[in-house]
A and B are shown apart, each in its own frame.
Chain A
Amino acid sequence: GEDVEQSLFLSVREGDSSVINCTYTDSSSTYLYWYKQEPGAGLQLLTYIFSNMDMKQDQRLTVLLNKKDKHLSLRIADTQTGDSAIYFCAEMDSSYKLIFGSGTRLLVRP
C-alpha cells in the first residue's frame, strides 16, 4: 500500500536553512504537499508540487521533487523561531485523498 516516511526530528539554529526530507511509495501520485502544524492547531497548507515538476519556490520555501527516487524535500531559508512546528509531507492518491507521513518536528534554536 501507499506509505510516506519522514525523519522524526530536526534542530537548526535561527537564521540557518532547514531541510526536511520525505519519501513516498505511490508512483502515480499527482500532487505532493507540505503542511505545517503548530501545537494544538490544525494543519496549514504551506505549499505543494505537481508531479511533473522538479522544483517549486515560494518566498522562503523551496520544494524539490526527485520522482525517480520518490523523494521530496522542503527547504526553509533563514529559519525563524516561528517556524518551529511539525511538518507533514503528504501524497495525493488516485481517489484524491491525502496519505500523510508521521511528521518531522522542527526545533529552531535562538
Chain B
Amino acid sequence: DTGVSQDPRHKITKRGQNVTFRCDPISEHNRLYWYRQTLGQGPEFLTYFQNEAQLEKSRLLSDRFSAERPKGSFSTLEIQRTEQGDSAMYLCAIWEGADKDEQYFGPGTRLTVT
C-alpha cells in the first residue's frame, strides 16, 4: 500500500464522452502529480500541484484536460470530449519531501476510449 488510492480503477467510455478520475492520498502531502502511461512506454508527466496551486502543466495536457485539487488533499482529472488517443493508464503520485525525495504512485486508472 503506497498510501494513494485512485478511483475508478478501470473506465470504458465512448469517444466524445467526458470522464473524471479521482486521486486520494491517505495523508496530507504538499505535492501531488499526475502522469499518463501508454502501452509499452514509461509514465509521462501531465501536471502537478503544490497544495491547491497547479504549478506546472505539460504540453501533453491539451485544453480538453483539466485538473483540480480544491482543498489541497484529493485531486481530480477530467477529460472532456474523449478521443481514442486518450486511452492510457492515468497515474497519481505523491511526493514525500522533507528528508527524502520519494514519489509514491497509486494503482492507476485505466481508461479505454472506444
B102 contacts chain A at the CB level, 8 A cutoff: yes
Interface of A is mostly: strand
Total A residues in contact with B, Cβ cutoff 8 Å: 23
Contacts of B31-83 to chain A: CB distance below 8 A:
31, 33, 35, 40-45, 48, 55-56
Give A100 to B58 CA distance when docked, in angstroms: 14
Give A3 to B82 CA distance when docked, in angstroms: 28
Total B residues in contact with A, Cβ cutoff 8 Å: 24
Most buried by A among B35, B101, B107: B101
Interface of B is mostly: strand
Instruction: Choose the segment among A13-21, A39-47, A65-73, A77-85 that binds chain B (4+ C-beta atoms closer than 8 Å).
Output: A39-47
Taking Cβ atoms with an 8 Å cutoff, the residues of A that contact B are 4, 30-31, 33, 35, 41-45, 48, 88, 90, 92, 95-103
Beyond A45-B104, A98-B33, A98-B103: 12 further Cβ-contacts under 8 Å?
A31-B101, A43-B43, A90-B42, A92-B101, A95-B48, A96-B101, A97-B33, A100-B42, A100-B44, A102-B42, A103-B40, A103-B42
